[in-house]
Amino acid sequence: MDNFINQWTPSDFNDHIDKIIGKKVNVKSIEIAGDGNMNFTYRLRFEDQGSIIVKQSPPFCARFPDIPAPEARIISEFKYYELATKNDYLSDHSPALLGLDKANRIAYISDLGSATDFEYLYGQDKKLDKVTCQKLINYLISLHNLNIPESVSFDNLDMRKLNHEYIFHLPFLADNFAIDLDTVTNGLEKVARPYKIDPDLKKAAKELGELYFQKTRILIHGDYYPMSWIETNKGLFIIDPEFAFMGLPEIDLGVFLAHMVMSNNFALAYNTINEVYGDYDVSLMAKFCAVEVIRRITYVSQLPLLNSLSFKSELLSISVTVLKTGKIDLYENIDCISS
């Protein structure tokens, strides 16, 4: 049996499940589950019609083996779910934990069945509804108010360092040509270029990036965006908390709001946050929102956004100002942009 599960046979999984979970199974089929970049993730179907999800975090990105990644990330994900079980709302919106092989970075979780994420929002053909928006924010309320015992530490520092590079540093380097933006949207390279040589913008991103490492006792998801939300016949579930850590809640709020900006759902999201969330630092949320928009449009972590140069240009122009000033109200006209 090799160490990486992408090479395993049904017999390998039978033996491993027996060892880790203590359950005798006969794996009938192995299917890719989801389209994540980081981990090997499979759905194992059993002869008795049951199924299970298995995930492994290799020391590289599963989709891009040449890119190294912290291999302990699946341990952090498992730890996050363990803490989430302490709250009924979080538990009801999380897959169940079934077993963990720490040595080989392999986790088994419940199979939620047929599911769809919220990627469709970026196409702007269908808006986010109010009820679902409230559920998504209620999840953050429960998460950010979770009582974490003083004995529990959750830095997830290696994953934070990786994420920091791709959010606050690399997108603001003038000489970084990791992606040709014109292959994404014709003319985008010229639009983005002035921002990459803007010293004030670089300074604002650097200062915000330092706050990304600030320690708190608040557990955050760390990557709260539409591909981490899935709708199933059992309801809404939140997955992939591999970037989770204890930090500023405005990071989650900002990332959430950024994707609502990019999918043309800003007014609903911002108003709902103000209605139900409670106290938060508006300026700080605005800056985390802005830096997420900028990096998603100008760097490698591309999304299936509306492929309109005018739309992306306006988003960038507004986001650059928001990152420098923290003025969230500059996004108020985003819901009017559709082409």
Q: What fold, for 10-109?
A: Phosphorylase Kinase; domain 1 (3.30.200)
Which run of H or of E encompasses 96?
none
Q: Yes or no: say if 106 and 72 are a contact pair by the CB < 8 Å rule.
A: no
Question: Hey, what amino acid is at 139?
Answer: Y
DSSP single-letter state for residue 77? H
* Neighbouring residues of 84: CB distance < 8 A, sequence distance ≥ 6: 90, 91, 94, 143, 146
Whole-model pTM: value is 0.95
Q: In tens digits, what is the pLDDT along the chain, a chain of 339 residues?
A: 568 999 999 999 999 999 999 999 999 999 999 777 789 999 999 999 899 999 999 999 988 888 899 999 999 999 999 999 999 999 999 999 999 999 999 999 999 998 999 999 999 999 999 999 999 999 999 999 999 999 999 999 999 999 999 999 999 998 888 999 999 999 999 999 999 999 999 999 999 999 999 999 999 999 999 999 999 999 999 999 999 999 999 999 999 999 999 999 999 999 999 999 999 999 999 999 999 999 999 999 999 999 999 999 999 999 999 999 999 999 998 766 654
CA–CA separation, 26 vs 22, rounded Å? Answer: 13
Please state the CATH superfamily assignment of the domain spanning residues 115-336 in this structure: Aminoglycoside phosphotransferase (APH), C-terminal lobe (3.90.1200.10)
CA–CA separation, 218 vs 225, rounded Å? Answer: 19
Sequence ranges of the domains in the chain: 10-109, 115-336
- Tell me the HSE value of 57 on the side-chain side, using a 13 A CA sphere: 23
